[in-house]
Amino acid sequence: MFDDATIVAIATANGIGSISIVRISGANALEIATKISKKTTFLPRLATLSSLYDINNEVIDEALVIYFKAPFSFTGEDVIEFQCHGGVAIANMLVNEALKRGARIANPGEFSKRAFFNNKIDLTKAEAISKIIEARSEDAVKLLARQLKGELTNFVNEIREDLLFMLAYTEVSIDYAEDDLPSDIFAQIKSKMEKIIVKLTNTLDASRRREGMIEGFKVAIIGKPNVGKSSLLNKLLNYDRAIISDIAGTTRDTIEESVKIGTHIIKIVDTAGIRDASDIIEKIGIEKSIQAINEADIVIALFDNGKVCDDEDKKIIELIEENLHKEIIKVLNKSDLQNKFDKTKIENFIKLSTKDDINPLVKKIELILDSNTHSDEMTLISKRQILSVENTLYSINLSKNPLETGELEFFAHYITEALEQISSITRPYENDQMLDVMFGEFCLGK
Ligand SMILES: Nc1nc2c(c(=O)[nH]1)N(C=O)[C@@H](CNc1ccc(C(=O)N[C@@H](CCC(=O)O)C(=O)O)cc1)CN2
Ligand SMILES: Nc1nc2c(ncn2[C@@H]2O[C@H](COP(=O)(O)OP(=O)(O)OP(=O)(O)O)[C@@H](O)[C@H]2O)c(=O)[nH]1
Ligand SMILES: [Mg+2]
């Protein structure tokens, strides 16, 4: 899995700050620390103030040294932390001193990878740690902290227990006469199975709705050319990001920018106006708009109050009708102009002008995102987790039929598959490549 080298990395951000932390993990960590500090003993977990020296005995810093004695450390190995004065210069010098004394630079995610292989954390916690570091909203942090605390691990373990129960009784009834078993055993198995299916389905639904909590929710702005999509984007961002003009077709490519609304991070996508274009570039733009709708959590459909509802608007209304499962906010823009738009064509719209206050729209977006996120449903935080739950459900669904027909070997086979799938969320049996990719995406020093 990994060599047993002693590894070193700067754990803190690469910039100016009052304190920096250099971490060393591995069998030689303590020896390296005694050489750099010239102190012979460190009491585990006690912060010790010490001068630190380079290989020529010149003093580098006065710093705190903490020794975490294996296995009671983050990685499960001997760990030394130098908590030195901040900025990057001293931290870099300490890394170099550790290298001179036999350590090597840690790969991205290698501390966490070692924690995983030493059973200090499972994959759900590793994923939570990796995402916490990149989180940009309080909501994301709170969601990830729940996973770090073990919520998903417990959820997986409960389902594993139920599946194991089902499997154990099935194996027994394959091998022994039925009268040795509780008479209602298959009723029990069925009812457990139904409960698992509901639990997994609910989790998938909630997780899909909340996918944006970590990366940002996608809000797409659509509408025919010149309705004011880019004006709205700029207004939501509070600065002039997109070019605006009264020439239809000004925006040719999709623009995506992040902004915070309430406690949520949203990614606003400004698209090229939808129209039946012969112009090849604009056609590509239209395809991108349709794609933006598909990928969006919320769609803002703009109409122009100052113009009559034409074929281009009807195309947008058609698209809305094809996507009723989506959160779509209809907005009648340019309400400062005299009304020409037939309002009966769009019901339940918000009236506004991008030249004026757009707060009603912002509030509406916030309300939708609040209702998507403010509950304590179990939530998966990565595509990997979602895929594993989907696969678990798939295998369980396949097991239903053989259970009905009494083909218990087949039933046991599918339940075993489901068990492997659900277990892979916390601890995959064999999948080195997946682990390499996953930990490789961690930031340096983690
Ligand atoms: N200075 C510092 N702060 C930090 C970290 C760190 O490594 N160093 N962390 C790095 O991510 C996070 C805290 N996570 C940690 C997780 C486990 C252990 C640890 O020593 N675990 C031992 C002992 C447990 C105990 O005493 O309860 C163990 O699990 O055996 C330390 C930090 C955030 N803050
Ligand atoms: N009167 C009025 N004009 C507006 C309003 N919003 C936008 N406009 C004007 O409408 C024109 C088009 O605005 P854009 O934001 O470029 O429109 P768009 O939908 O991005 O257009 P394309 O990129 O071509 O699809 C500009 O001249 C804006 O100043 C509004 O609320 N009231
Ligand atoms: Mg535009």
219-245 per-position pLDDT tens digit: 999 998 899 999 999 999 998 898 888
Quick check: CB of 176 below 6 Å from ligand 1? no
Domain topology for 148-209+381-441:
Four Helix Bundle (Hemerythrin (Met), subunit A) (1.20.120)
Looking at all shown ligands, the one closest to residue 232's CA atom is: 2
Q: Whose CA is closest to atom 31 on ligand 1?
A: 74
**Residue 382 pLDDT class (50, 70, 90 cuts):** very high
Yes or no: is domain 7-119 CATH 3.30.1360.120?
A: yes
Q: Residue 84: helix, strand or coil by DSSP?
A: strand
pTM above 0.80, yes or no: yes
pLDDT of residue 1 exceeding 60: no
Ligand nearest to the CA of 132: 1
CA 374 vs. chain centroid, Å, equals 17
Beta bridge partners of 52: 61
Going from the Cα of 334 to the center of ligand 2, the distance in angstroms, rounded, reads: 8
Give the percent of the chain with pLDDT over 90: 69
Q: Which ligand 2 atom is the nearest neighbour of the CA of 337?
A: 1
Q: Is 272 annotated as a binding residue?
A: yes
245 lines ligand 2 (CB under 6 A): yes
DSSP 309: -
Selected from 3.40.50.720, 1.10.569.10, 3.30.750.24, 3.40.50.300, the CATH number assigned to the domain covering 217-373 reads 3.40.50.300
Q: Is 226 touching ligand 2 by the criterion CB < 6 Å?
A: yes
Looking at the predicted structure, is the pLDDT value of residue 311 above 90? no
What are all long-range contacts of 425-432, with beta carbons under 8 Å and residues at least 24 apart? Answer: 425/123, 425/124, 425/152, 425/156, 425/385, 425/388, 425/389, 426/122, 426/123, 426/124, 426/152, 426/153, 426/156, 426/157, 427/122, 427/123, 428/123, 432/1
**Pocket-testing residue among 74, 75, 77, 444, ligand 1, by greatest number of atoms within 8 A of Cβ:** 74
Question: What tens digit of pLDDT does each residue of 145-202 get?
Answer: 999 999 999 999 999 999 999 999 898 888 876 666 777 888 999 999 999 999 999 9
Delimiting residues of CATH 1.20.120.430 domain(s) in the chain: 148-209+381-441
Domain with CATH 3.40.50.300 in the chain: 217-373
Residues of the chain with CATH 3.30.1360.120: 7-119
